Amino acid sequence: MSQHTITVAGVAVDARHWIGGERVASTRTFPDVSPIDGSTIGEISRGTATEAAAAVAAAKAAFPAWAATSRAERARILHAIAGGVEKRIEELAIVETTDNGALLRSHRRGVMPRVAHNFRFFADWLLQLDHEDFDTRGHTNHVSWDPAGPCVLITPWNAPLMLATWKVAPALAAGNTVVLKPAEWSPLTASLLADIAAEAGLPAGVLNVVQGYGSEIGDALTSHPDVRRISFTGSVPTAKRIAESAAAHLTPLSLELGGKSPLLVFADGDLDLAVDLAVEQYDNAGQVCLAGTRLLVEEPVAEEFTRRFVERASALKQGDPRDEATDIGPNIHPRQLEKIDGFVQRALAAGARAVIGGHRKEDQYYAPTLLTDVAPDAEIVQEEVFGPVLTLQTFTDEEEAVRLANGTRFGLAATVVTGDPERAERVTARLVAGTVWVNCFFVRDLQAPFGGSRLSGVGREGGTWSFDFYCDVKNTVTAPKGWKDHG
């Protein structure tokens, strides 16, 4: 076994980069630490501008052949990658749980099957991607999607492989080559993806994986003149730096950023459903960009809602994410825990009341928290915490509900609970959000557009929207006359 191999629960993971179809080591490394117990999983190759340049060069060299590969062959290879994921679901699940602390049962049953589905969906969508020709004064318009070139994909730590493949799959399907930079707090499954893709027959250089700190490798990737698309999921400050870096070459960007989403509960709604949906916002220890962290409840039912919520939330089991009975695992990193607690302690000092939680637990666990008595302009209401922390505010009518819901700089998602379809239509029409759920939460279809408004992002991906981003969309106009006789 190589000195660069890390073993996680019996699964071998190569800690080196994957560039041009080969494993490449850096002269320096960084530690990958498990949030479950704080132990060091292993040392990961720490990329710099040198590895970034090599990865982009490999992607550029591989691009012409991959772009010229037929849709059918690209789709076949993507399906083969999906099959490789499905064969290794258990391995991928335990590695990712060890790496980022999310529930093992969720990885087994939902997240890793979704990874495979990402590849299968975009492979199938590619084969049906079409726009009907249309006529302009006797001239024929034909729309096509041309591969754009090498893509840099920068992905977060809260759902590492699922969110990476949400970008990788359509980029590859479109005929592009990829440089994937996973988050340094959870890099392991991206390395396994490189192995799976190679085994599936993906040509060398079409997918490259480089690891390291964004401050050391990120600018070299996002400012490179040969990069034709950048897709990033993460924080607003980082997105601003990426946008500045990409501006030199006007590289198109897709940005899915923070959220401070509202969950509106109207008095005419199903209160049990509302409580279920509210408690669900603690999923993944609150480390979900779409989470409805601002509970907005109509005054007549606020007291009863709170009572039922506390009863339900207090029954959640927090602990080792590898235990099937666990509902909430650890937060990913001591720095993230410090950030979460800082938000909560400042809110409490400003007069907020912790109905439940409001404090750290042992190791990297934060108690599920619900804060009330918070002002609309309070920091805890306005800024993304990214932990198991919810706030509760009340409203008296639709007008106030919408005003509170739209009262932040973000606009990623919103959830509405109401028993009145006309009210649902009125309210959702006024909400600023990329996705709105009515009497449900987290129902996602890959053919739907996904993205945020305001500071929650730029652009939309999903279905044809993904191909619109990852391709140069071309319109060819042909005159009805002018053809020479080739008979």
CA distances from 310 to 82, 277, 278, 307 (A): 41, 13, 11, 5
Active-site annotation holds for 289:
yes
- Category of 149 on φ-ψ map: left (φ > 0), alpha (ψ -120 to 50) or beta: left
The DSSP secondary-structure symbol of 360 reads B
The DSSP secondary-structure symbol of 216 reads I
Q: Which helix (H) or strand (E) holds 38?
A: none
| Nearest alpha carbon to residue 290 among 259, 262, 312, 253 | 259
The DSSP secondary-structure symbol of 366 reads B
Place of tokens 């299968």: 120
What gap in Å lies between CA 128 and CA 464, rounded to an integer? 10
What gap in Å lies between CA 369 and CA 184, rounded to an integer? 27
Q: Residue 180 corresponds to which tokens in the numbers above?
A: 């994937």
- Category of 9 on φ-ψ map: left (φ > 0), alpha (ψ -120 to 50) or beta: left
CB atoms within 10 A of CB 424: 19
What gap in Å lies between CA 144 and CA 224, rounded to an integer? 27
Give the active site residue among 91, 184, 289, 461.
289
Give the active site residue among 51, 91, 256, 461.
256
Mention every residue, 6+ apart, whose C-beta is less than 8 A from residue 425: none
Residue 206 near residue 178, CB atoms below 8 Å? yes
Active-site annotation holds for 151:
no
List, by residue number, the catalytic residues. 256, 289
